Structure 1
Amino acid sequence: MHRAPISVSAAALTLALAAAGCGGSDDDPDTITVAYQDYGAFQAAHSLFEKVKEEFEAENPGTTVELRPIEAPPEDYQAQVNLMNQSPSEAPDIIYEDTFTINQDVDAGYLLPIDDYWDAWPDAEQYNDRADAGVTALDGSRYGVMLGTDTRGLWYNTALLEQAGVEVPWEPETWDDVLEAARAVRAEHGDAVAPLNLYSGTPAGEMASMQGFQMLLSGTGDALYDEESREWITGAPGFLDSLEFVRTVYTEDLGLDPQDALNPTVSTINNEERFPSGELAISLEGSWATQSWIESANQPWPEWSDTMAFAAMPTRDGGDPGTTSMSGGWALSLGAASTNPDLAWEVMAHALNLENATKFAVEGAQIPLRGDVAASEEFTASDPNPDLATELVDVTHFRPAYGEYPRVSLAIQEAMEAVMLGDATPEEAAATYAQEVEGIVGADNVRQGG
């Protein structure tokens, strides 16, 4: 399969698989299939696996590394991989896996524990504890190796803010500071510039719930889930405050036009078009945004470092620790249906070696989890991450990595969308969310916040 667009419906996905020739490798033990996301501005995985295929096949005559790039945003990518995993003949040997989906895929029986491979792998000592936590499931076993991680904050165009009278370098200390800067941009630049991008609504998917809503919620002192009591939280003041921030952005015309904000490719358009053309001033975005601008990008923007800067997202009122972030990360995992997991592990380990892990970290604008990558001359000379993005690891938060989370995430997206479009007040949207969560996880697994 080569970059075949997919539909979100199960029927269309199944047809797409068949039409694209995405069936398995007839269980050939010498053929290792690799499924990965190849979408929008993100090209690092495709570039990595093309290199791995060429190298591994040259070093191991008779072995085939079959690449299955999937051109789809995260939610649709996961849906297609799930369909592949439901058929042993189509299930990939190696899966490019968003770490927050590991527990649900373990529950579904899609992943193979790799503890024995990990324990025997000399490179394992290069990884830090955060890399362990991201791929260890609730059953205590390891189900992958992380390629890298990230943080989130406020990317901004220094010239646009300066022209609006906002002091640069910009260091907002509260949510009000963020909103005031956006208001200044609107007043100075009018409709020519979108002041603030805040991902919101169901088309944005996980971007809305994670780097939109949860970036706000994490700065309020409240959370979606109580890890100690193992309960989902509804009705917390911070949840309502976060929706109120969304309402302010869209009712005051401080964000993108709702039609543009609800475009599923909004992130790619923002980073490849709106920022380089000076049509966007601020975006609550991931540290990896630089992958859209570096030399190996689809549309390189050599001047980005003279134009763009990165600020930490403040907590709501500037309370401790003052700033906040959300982190995620992608891993490589072994498929449970693999007919030759030993060979699949060899391919996976090759993709994760020092040279290839460094390549992925640079091209994917990742924060490395291998110590030797982070210290390598190649990475330090090419590191596209702002220093602050790496420092935010100290204050970062993570999504609840449980099987129910994707449905809870969708409920968050729906609440945001209702508020941004004026179909519900923050109070109404929060109440609907509470009802949906109770239906998803059961009343006994929910507690009232506040």
Structure 2
Amino acid sequence: MKKSLLSALSLGAVAALVLTGCSAGGADTESKTIKVAYQKFGSFVQVDAHMKAVKKEYEAKHKGVTVELVPIEAQENDYATKLALMNKSAATAPDVMYEDTFRVQSDSDAGYLAPLDDYTSKWTEWDSFYDNAKSAGLGSDGKTYGIPMGTDTRAIWYNKDLFAQAGLPVPFEPKTWQDVLDAAETIKAKLPDVIPLNVYSGKAQGEASSMQGFEMLLYGTKDTLYNADSQKWVTGSKGFRDSLAFIKDVYQGGLGPTPEQALDKNVGNLVSGEWLPQGKLAMGIDGSWLSGTWLEGGTAPWPEWNTVMGQAPMPTQDGGKPGSTSMSGGWTLAMGSKSQNKDAAWDFISMALNKDNSQSYDIAASQIAVRDDVSKDPDYQAANPTFGFFSGIVANTHFRPATSDYAQISTAITVAMEAVMTGQQSVDDAADAYDKTVVGIVGDKNTESAD
């Protein structure tokens, strides 16, 4: 019987599975060193810590094989660019790489990734991964190219102390976008030294802007970005314009950071490491992983975070069903197609994402587990008081279009957002420019009007 992430998140029973690892045989010219590339940026250090721990475990078990860790210190879009450059040459291409799920299709189409089906077919632990989590690692050819590390959801984080000072109700339970904007207006009036609301926006933030900012809005309207049934990109939608209008209200209405602050590539680190812990920001649309920064092993430990911070689902635009919305993503470990020792690379991946190591990483990085044995483990369930909330909103979550051209569409979204937030274009002009860009990317036959 197939498992799904949604169904398992509602279960509280403890499951015990027999966990074993395996390698699929290959005829590669073996190298004594495997190269592992991953992102390390600002307060996001959990992957780095995880890779260091797995390297130590791996080298102790595989005598004579060295794991060369290649942490790439860059914001998400810059990380993807640097990783792509590494993958162009066999001399620099990694054996194992940290791969965003939305890039799996484009990178496998580009020939950067090796299919893993021969390995997963013999790996008994693969059965412990949820089917919809597995699908996040599929290429356009239906083959598996990435093994999921964890997933996430997004919501409104808010400072309960600041809300109380401003006379706003706690818990915060917004039903519409206007409720969120009204709360931000109240913060602005009552606490003028506090930033009312952060919504990631603009080109510098990359996917944080397009997915975590814009798509959190768009999927709360009656429109969508991509019609999965017709396999066409949607242009001319009211929901797209309304989402841009929300961004305009925040940034042109003085309800968010200044555009200069928002366009700083380090703004995410400021949000988690300074603005929220220091009471400088009242609300932020952000991810389930945020509290990982504040845990004892995080980069900015904040013992009081769970007392001070609250979470509220992001409401739909006008309160229509299902009442709230979220976005989910996640990252995988993938194997480089140019690896000279694919068996060793697979052994590293399967060790890094076995039950114990997956659970350790998911707890440290505040990830929603993608293995049923981890999600049901009492230690995982007790590790973070927000796991229940963020798991609970999976029912209303959405995923980015799994197409090879999504990355270019995502960039076009950030361009429209930046034009509106800085006042360079009106909402209508920015939306029209986006529509033209989409047609230029995918062709007119691959778009459809929302009208």
Question: Residue 331 of structure 1 corresponds to which residue in structure 2?
Answer: 332
Question: Residue 245 of structure 2 corresponds to which residue in structure 1?
Answer: 244
Say if 1:93 and 1:338, in contact at 8 Å, map to a contact too: yes
Question: Residue 8 of structure 1 corresponds to which residue in structure 2?
Answer: none
1:348-363, aligned counterparts within 5 Å?
348-363=349-364
1:100-179, aligned counterparts within 5 Å?
100-179=102-181
Secondary structure of the 1:120 match is coil
> Following TM superposition, by how much is the alpha carbon of 1:446 offset from its aligned partner in structure 2, in angstroms?
1.1
Say if 1:290 and 1:384, in contact at 8 Å, map to a contact too: no
1:395-406, aligned counterparts within 5 Å?
395-406=396-407
Say if 2:250 and 2:256, in contact at 8 Å, map to a contact too: yes
For 1:171 and 1:271, locate their aligned partners in 2 and report how far apart those are by CA, in whole Å: 22
CA spacing shift, 1:267–1:384, aligned 2, 3 Å: farther
**Is 1:29 the equivalent of 2:20?**
no
1:194-213, aligned counterparts within 5 Å?
194-213=195-214
Q: Identity over the aligned pairs, expressed in percent?
A: 46
Q: Structure 2: which 5+ residue stretches go unaligned?
A: 1-28
Question: Residue 303 of structure 1 corresponds to which residue in structure 2?
Answer: 304
Say if 2:162 and 2:282, in contact at 8 Å, map to a contact too: yes
For 1:399 and 1:46, locate their aligned partners in 2 and report how far apart those are by CA, in whole Å: 26
1:17-96, aligned counterparts within 5 Å?
29-96=31-98
Secondary structure of the 1:111 match is coil
Question: Residue 216 of structure 2 corresponds to which residue in structure 1?
Answer: 215
For 1:60 and 1:210, locate their aligned partners in 2 and report how far apart those are by CA, in whole Å: 40
> Following TM superposition, by how much is the alpha carbon of 1:377 offset from its aligned partner in structure 2, in angstroms?
3.0
For 1:107 and 1:207, locate their aligned partners in 2 and report how far apart those are by CA, in whole Å: 24
Say if 1:235 and 1:449, in contact at 8 Å, map to a contact too: yes
> Following TM superposition, by how much is the alpha carbon of 1:313 offset from its aligned partner in structure 2, in angstroms?
0.1
> Following TM superposition, by how much is the alpha carbon of 1:212 offset from its aligned partner in structure 2, in angstroms?
0.4
For 1:392 and 1:120, locate their aligned partners in 2 and report how far apart those are by CA, in whole Å: 34
Secondary structure of the 1:387 match is helix
Say if 1:104 and 1:402, in contact at 8 Å, map to a contact too: yes
Give the paired residue count: 423
For 1:193 and 1:386, locate their aligned partners in 2 and report how far apart those are by CA, in whole Å: 28
Cα offsets for 1:133-168 (capped at 9, x unmatched): 211122111111100000001000001111112111
Secondary structure of the 2:191 match is helix
Question: Residue 263 of structure 2 corresponds to which residue in structure 1?
Answer: 262
Give the aligned residue type for 1:422.
G
For 2:99 and 2:356, locate their aligned partners in 1 and report how far apart those are by CA, in whole Å: 21
For 1:410 and 1:131, locate their aligned partners in 2 and report how far apart those are by CA, in whole Å: 25
Give the aligned residue type for 2:255.
L
Question: Residue 347 of structure 2 corresponds to which residue in structure 1?
Answer: 346
For 1:384 and 1:349, locate their aligned partners in 2 and report how far apart those are by CA, in whole Å: 29
> Following TM superposition, by how much is the alpha carbon of 1:59 offset from its aligned partner in structure 2, in angstroms?
1.3
Secondary structure of the 2:36 match is strand
For 2:34 and 2:384, locate their aligned partners in 1 and report how far apart those are by CA, in whole Å: 31
Give the aligned residue type for 2:405.
E
For 1:415 and 1:215, locate their aligned partners in 2 and report how far apart those are by CA, in whole Å: 15
Give the aligned residue type for 1:331.
T
Give the aligned residue type for 1:328.
G
Instruction: Output the aligned Cα RMSD.
Output: 1.1
Say if 1:152 and 1:326, in contact at 8 Å, map to a contact too: yes
Give the aligned residue type for 2:376.
A
Secondary structure of the 2:343 match is helix
> Following TM superposition, by how much is the alpha carbon of 1:386 offset from its aligned partner in structure 2, in angstroms?
4.1
1:275-314, aligned counterparts within 5 Å?
275-314=276-315
**Is 1:180 the equivalent of 2:166?**
no
> Following TM superposition, by how much is the alpha carbon of 1:248 offset from its aligned partner in structure 2, in angstroms?
0.9
Question: Residue 10 of structure 1 corresponds to which residue in structure 2?
Answer: none
For 1:106 and 1:223, locate their aligned partners in 2 and report how far apart those are by CA, in whole Å: 26
Question: Residue 381 of structure 1 corresponds to which residue in structure 2?
Answer: 382
> Following TM superposition, by how much is the alpha carbon of 1:239 offset from its aligned partner in structure 2, in angstroms?
0.3
> Following TM superposition, by how much is the alpha carbon of 1:182 offset from its aligned partner in structure 2, in angstroms?
0.4
Question: Residue 418 of structure 1 corresponds to which residue in structure 2?
Answer: 419
> Following TM superposition, by how much is the alpha carbon of 1:380 offset from its aligned partner in structure 2, in angstroms?
1.9
For 2:166 and 2:384, locate their aligned partners in 1 and report how far apart those are by CA, in whole Å: 30
For 1:66 and 1:365, locate their aligned partners in 2 and report how far apart those are by CA, in whole Å: 26
For 1:40 and 1:385, locate their aligned partners in 2 and report how far apart those are by CA, in whole Å: 23
> Following TM superposition, by how much is the alpha carbon of 1:28 offset from its aligned partner in structure 2, in angstroms?
5.9
Question: Residue 19 of structure 1 corresponds to which residue in structure 2?
Answer: none
> Following TM superposition, by how much is the alpha carbon of 1:384 offset from its aligned partner in structure 2, in angstroms?
5.1
Give the aligned residue type for 2:45.
Q
Secondary structure of the 1:135 match is coil
For 2:385 and 2:119, locate their aligned partners in 1 and report how far apart those are by CA, in whole Å: 32
Cα offsets for 1:215-260 (capped at 9, x unmatched): 0000002111111111111100100100111111122200011111
Cα offsets for 1:319-369 (capped at 9, x unmatched): 011000000000011111111111111111110111111111011110001
Give the aligned residue type for 1:286.
G
For 1:226 and 1:380, locate their aligned partners in 2 and report how far apart those are by CA, in whole Å: 36
> Following TM superposition, by how much is the alpha carbon of 1:371 offset from its aligned partner in structure 2, in angstroms?
1.1
For 1:223 and 1:362, locate their aligned partners in 2 and report how far apart those are by CA, in whole Å: 33
Say if 1:202 and 1:208, in contact at 8 Å, map to a contact too: yes
For 2:385 and 2:137, locate their aligned partners in 1 and report how far apart those are by CA, in whole Å: 25
Secondary structure of the 2:369 match is coil
Say if 1:367 and 1:385, in contact at 8 Å, map to a contact too: no
> Following TM superposition, by how much is the alpha carbon of 1:383 offset from its aligned partner in structure 2, in angstroms?
2.6
For 1:61 and 1:87, locate their aligned partners in 2 and report how far apart those are by CA, in whole Å: 28
Give the aligned residue type for 2:220.
G
Cα offsets for 1:78-124 (capped at 9, x unmatched): 11110111001211111110000000001100111111211111111
Give the aligned residue type for 1:378.
D
> Following TM superposition, by how much is the alpha carbon of 1:378 offset from its aligned partner in structure 2, in angstroms?
2.5
Give the aligned residue type for 1:390.
S
Say if 1:150 and 1:287, in contact at 8 Å, map to a contact too: yes
Secondary structure of the 2:320 match is coil
Q: Which runs of 4+ in 1 moved over 6 A?
A: none
> Following TM superposition, by how much is the alpha carbon of 1:188 offset from its aligned partner in structure 2, in angstroms?
0.6
For 1:314 and 1:115, locate their aligned partners in 2 and report how far apart those are by CA, in whole Å: 40
For 1:363 and 1:406, locate their aligned partners in 2 and report how far apart those are by CA, in whole Å: 28
Q: Structure 1: which 5+ residue stretches go unaligned?
A: 1-26
Give the aligned residue type for 1:171.
E
For 2:144 and 2:64, locate their aligned partners in 1 and report how far apart those are by CA, in whole Å: 30
For 2:342 and 2:169, locate their aligned partners in 1 and report how far apart those are by CA, in whole Å: 56
Q: What is the TM-score with the length of structure 2 in the denominator?
A: 0.92
Cα offsets for 1:30-80 (capped at 9, x unmatched): 211111011111111111110111111111110111100100111111111
